[in-house]
Amino acid sequence: MREVMLTADGSGMRLDKWLTEQLPELSRSGVQHLIEQGAVLCNGKPAAKNLKLREGDGLLVQIPDPAPLEDVQPQNLPLEIVYEDEALLVVNKPKGMVVHPAAGHPDGTLVNALLYHCQGRLSTINGVIRPGIVHRIDKNTSGLLMVAKTDFAHQHLAEQIKGHSFTREYEAIACGRFREPSGTVDAPIGRSTADRQKMCVTEKNARHAVTHYAVLTQFAKHAHIRCRLETGRTHQIRVHMRYIGHPIYGDDVYGTAVPGLEGQCLHAKKIGFVHPVSGAYMEFDSALPDYFVQALKKVEHIHV
């Protein structure tokens, strides 16, 4: 177990929200779960999640160690397999599904489903909590994800991502009208110092990040766009689109929430890579899911 000691400022913020900003590795629901379990003490006493903090309050957060692999249980969950062979598989992740177990999401994740489907035969390079996971997409981003069954395949695919030869194309609904039909955002991304839960364009402790975008359809107040990643940073498309004034529709972190839409309207539509065993280039494309299609119909008729 890891213990984190913090001293509250005088913001008067709710405990769960404040801790989420201070501990970006935890989701808000993860923080709330720890509070409910009595793992957060304020001035030596178990705290309530709606506690309003006062300046100088002393907090002790007890974060459990990651569960060993034997405790991450295989679960027979719906899993859309787009392609599979002895080295790897490509899955189409639904919106709302978490990729791997974390605080607040101990099960029901893509990893739980993969352990069941692959009978535990997944690469081990990313550790016991993320077996097979070569790259990730956010909980509320849908679409294609690469999974490695062997360490050899994992290393080969990771090198392609690092070398920018791994094709990743997304489609999204962005807010506002674009002046140009296409463009490139070349701006470094790092952790926000104002809100540790967020990423931002910054020069401080940042990593190089490039997103290419093209407008597929321009509506009155929104646009259907395609984004191609040259790099793969945390929340890259969401941060870059916000940076140029076009946040992703429904993004309640970098933009504005939309009633009836759970998070951002962003879909990982296409991936392409050189197969680590055969050496052949392979490319996969997924249809836009229903939530995305319905959102497109909605924004098409927004004129005011």
138 as an active site residue: the answer is yes
**CA gap 65, 222 in Å, rounded:** 43
Count of C-beta atoms within a 10 Å radius of residue 173: 26
Query: Can you give the length of the chain in residues?
Result: 304
Contact 149, 88 (CB under 8 A): yes
Residue 237 tokens, joined: 């498309």
Other residues' Cβ atoms within 10 Å of the Cβ of residue 91: 23
CA-to-CA distance for 241 and 216, rounded, in angstroms? 15
CA pair distance 170, 23, nearest whole angstrom: 29
Using CB atoms within 10 A of its CB, is residue 89 exposed (0-12), middle (13-18) or buried (19+)?
Answer: buried
Catalytic residue among 16, 57, 138, 251: 138
**Torsions phi, psi for 171 (to 5 deg):** -120, 145
Please, what is the end-to-end C-alpha distance for the chain in angstroms? Answer: 52
Rounded to whole angstroms, the maximal C-alpha distance in the chain is 61
Q: Are strands 81-84 and 88-93 parallel, antiparallel or unpaired?
A: antiparallel
Label the pairing between strands 266-274 and 142-148: parallel
Give strand pairing partners of 172.
225, 266
Q: What are the residue numbers of the active site?
A: 138
